[in-house]
Amino acid sequence: MGKGRVTFIGCGIVLATVFLTLQICSCGADTPRADSVESDDSPVSGFQELLNDRERAYLSRLQDAGEIRFAVINAPESYYMDENGEYRGFDYVYAGVFAEMLGVSAEFYEQEQITDFFARNGKFDSSIISKPEISYVPDLMDDVDVYAAPFGINEWRRRLVSMTPFFPVGVVMIGPEASGIESYNDLDGLAAAVRPGDFQIPMLQSIMEEHGVSIRLIEYEADEDVFTVLREGRADITIDGSLFLARTVQELGDMQVSPLTLSLVPVGWAVDPREEELTSILEKFVAYTLENGTFATVWEREMGMNFDYYLDLVSTQE
């Protein structure tokens, strides 16, 4: 099930900014139950009033359990421990807000690697990426409620879990000599570093099929630094979300970004496909927080960037 359990501290320094901004609740305040929502101006009640009868029944059961369980992975700006020993990251804080809106505590279970989220009988078979007839519910879904990590949404993942999109991510290609890659033909014969089970593999396979080029896929371990792989010459390039790579490339200095524009990839969380009510609750939560500014507040705090500015930025890649 992962490294261990972390309980969300709902009234910590990070959330204090969010909740004060949105006037949600203060430490020790009771969150309304789904079966006793009062009509008032609080965001918590406002959200719960959006739920239909089936969703409220599901929420009541969740509140009886007292917690919602999130599977996470340690990644910059998603879920990590800062220099003060505090857990931070967009997915961590946004999951905490989701739990507050539901009136339950948030429990986090860190996974070692991406393939842990999609394993069956303890193993991940990469052939699922190219075999549309394969479909199953991953083992981990028996132990958690939500995958709270920035997963690129693609066809094979939709066969296993219910995906709720949050925002688009521009995909960029980087490497020591990547600035010279100006067309898809320039990719022919290159080696690309990829993480097992990640969105990079089907995207690169699609590029090869569509443009008739050959790219060697070099898998690296979850605990390896991809930039070390590139520096050692084991691969020529890697691809990833522009949001997560931009700051890293600036800091490294010895990596270049290809001018070749790749397609946008929607990013979001996953829910057990058997839990239709939880999926619809999550979808309503995302829409509600996008509308009232909660999403943008958490984003700017954890990403260090204005959300509207980011959307305008990635829209140029469409």
Residues 43 and 65 in one domain: yes
242 and 301 co-located in one domain: no
Please identify, among 244, 264, 284, the residue that sits at the C-terminal boundary of a domain.
Answer: 264
Q: Does residue 183 sit in helix, strand or coil?
A: coil
Residue 170 phi, psi (nearest 5): -75, 135
The answer as to whether 269 is a domain residue is no
Question: Any residues with CB less than 8 A from the CB of 127 and at least 6 apart, and which?
Answer: 134
Is 155 contained in some domain? no
237 assigned to some structural domain: yes
Same structural domain, 82 and 11:
yes
Quote the CA–CA distance of 168 and 268 in Å, as a whole number: 9
Q: Are residues 25 and 59 in the same domain?
A: yes
Task: List the chain pLDDT tens, one digit each, 318 residues.
Answer: 656 566 665 444 444 555 555 544 333 344 445 444 444 556 777 899 999 999 999 999 999 999 999 999 998 789 999 899 989 999 999 999 999 999 999 999 999 888 999 999 999 998 898 899 999 999 999 999 999 999 989 899 999 999 999 998 878 888 999 989 999 999 999 999 998 877 788 889 889 999 999 999 999 987 788 889 999 999 999 988 766 555 555 556 788 888 887 778 899 999 999 999 999 999 999 999 999 999 999 999 898 888 888 887 676 555
Q: Quick one: pLDDT at residue 251?
A: 58
Task: Classify the C-alpha dihedral 153-165-113-79 as positive or negative.
Answer: positive
Based on the fold, state whether residues 48 and 73 are members of the same structural domain: yes
What's the mean pLDDT when you consider all of the chain? 84
- Domain, as residue range, for 41: 5-111+275-315
> What is the CATH classification number for the domain harbouring 35?
3.40.190
Residues 36 and 94 reside in one and the same domain: yes
For residue 141, tell me if it sits in a domain.
Answer: no
The Cα–Cα gap between 280 and 286 comes to: 10
Domain co-membership, 221 together with 181: yes
Considering the domain architecture, whether residues 9 and 47 belong to the same structural domain is answered as: yes
120-154 pLDDT tens trace: 999 999 889 889 999 999 999 999 999 999 998 98
Tally of structural domains, the chain: 2
CATH of the domain at 178: 3.40.190.10
Which helix H or strand E contains 304, and what residues bound it?
none
Outline where DSSP puts E strands in 30-133: 67-73, 80-81, 87-88, 105-111
Residue 147 lies in a domain: no
Length, in residues, of the chain: 318
| One domain, residues 178 and 210 | yes
- CA distances from residue 115 to 161, 197, 203 in whole angstroms, order as listed: 14, 5, 17
Would 238 be classed as within a structural domain? yes
**Domain contains 249:** yes
Based on the fold, state whether residues 309 and 211 are members of the same structural domain.
no
Task: Based on the fold, state whether residues 255 and 296 are members of the same structural domain.
Answer: no
Q: What is the pTM of this model?
A: 0.77
Do 69 and 28 share a structural domain?
yes
Instruction: Let me know the angle formed at the C-alpha of 152 by 56 and 149, rounded to the nearest 5 degrees.
Output: 55
Give 281-316 pLDDT, tens digit per residue.
Answer: 999 999 999 999 999 999 998 988 888 888 876 765
- Whether residue 134 lies inside any domain: the answer is no
Indicate the SS3 state at residue 184.
Answer: helix
